[in-house]
Amino acid sequence: MSVAVVTGATDGIGKAYARQLAALGLNIVLVGRSPSKLQQVSDEISMKLPTCSVAEVPSGEHFGDIINCNIMSMARLTNLLLPAMRGKKRGLIVNIGSVAGTGFAPMRTTYGASKAFVDKFTCDLAAECRSDGIVVQSILPCYVATKLPGLSGKSSLDVPTAEAYVVASINSIGVETRTAAYWFHKILLYWTEVLYFFAPSLVQRLTTQFIGRKGMMMTTTNNSLE
């Protein structure tokens, strides 16, 4: 039976991917920082799908370095798993980037740059692996209703639930190599890249204002929790 390795599997998009892939009949290897949360997700999946085999792999200490978390761990895991996929002439790699990596991301420069690496790495790898029968996909979400600070956790027209987003992402496998998956996010990605090409100064100014408001909201939220 096929096995899916899901990183960041304790919450949000990663957890939703683990649930959906388990429901499709794949055995799941969960990777995350919190052993207790990994066990909780493992128990949830095993309870709903007793025939699914689930293993947990704690990833060690918390990464304070965004570059290590978003870049090094992805590259190392790909390097670890890709030879076996090439040997079998089949496989699927889905890397989660961000719309923040497709244009300007002021005030979260390192995050945006790291997600730009994810997108570039994934698209180039897709071209390399196509002849090996391996599907490689870059997913570029906007905001998703998760427990991210500054977000209410409530879904809306432009902020889908993690489950809804992952369903859209899975439906795009084998169809699109690079996609924002969810319909509203695809519209935002398209216009972001069009405006970035034709009016970069305008996009830079609007993005700075938008992210600045989000940053203030996140700061306010964090202070209220202290």
Q: Are 15 and 162 in contact (CB under 8 A)?
A: yes
How is residue 13 written in tokens?
A: 């998009």
105 in the same domain as 40:
no
Which pLDDT does position 152 carry in this prediction? 57
Same domain as 5, residue 89: no
| Residues 41, 135 within the same domain | no
Q: Are the beta carbons of 111 and 210 closer than 8 angstroms?
A: no
- Do 73 and 43 lie in one domain? The reply is no
Return contacts of 165-172, CB within 8 angstroms, 24+ apart: 165/13, 165/16, 165/141, 166/13, 166/16, 166/17, 166/19, 166/20, 167/20, 169/17, 169/94, 169/139, 170/20, 170/21, 170/24, 172/137
Between CA 88 and CA 90 the distance in angstroms is: 5
Catalytic residue set:
111
The CATH number of whichever domain residue 50 belongs to comes to: 3.40.50.720
pLDDT confidence of residue 63: 44
**Gap between the Cα atoms of 166 and 19, Å rounded:** 10
On whether both 135 and 197 belong to a single domain, the answer is: yes
Looking at residue 216, what is its pLDDT?
A: 44
| Rounded (5°) CA angle 22-28-34 | 115
The residue from 13, 37, 62 where one domain ends is 62
* The predicted structure's pLDDT at residue 165: 96
Strands 27-32 vs 54-58: parallel, antiparallel or unpaired: parallel
Q: How many domains does the chain have?
A: 2
Residues 56 and 80 in one domain: no
DSSP string, 157-197: SSS-BHHHHHHHHHHTTTT-SEE--SHHHHHHHHHHHHHHH
Q: What are the mean pLDDT values of the chain's consecutive 10-residue runs (226 residues total)? A: 86 91 91 85 89 71 67 92 95 95 81 93 97 97 77 79 95 96 95 89 77 48 38
Domain assignment of residue 155, given as a range: 67-225
Domain match, 51 and 33 both: yes
How would you class 189 by CB atoms within 10 Å of its CB: exposed for 0-12, middle for 13-18, buried for 19 or more? buried
What was the pLDDT predicted at 6? 92
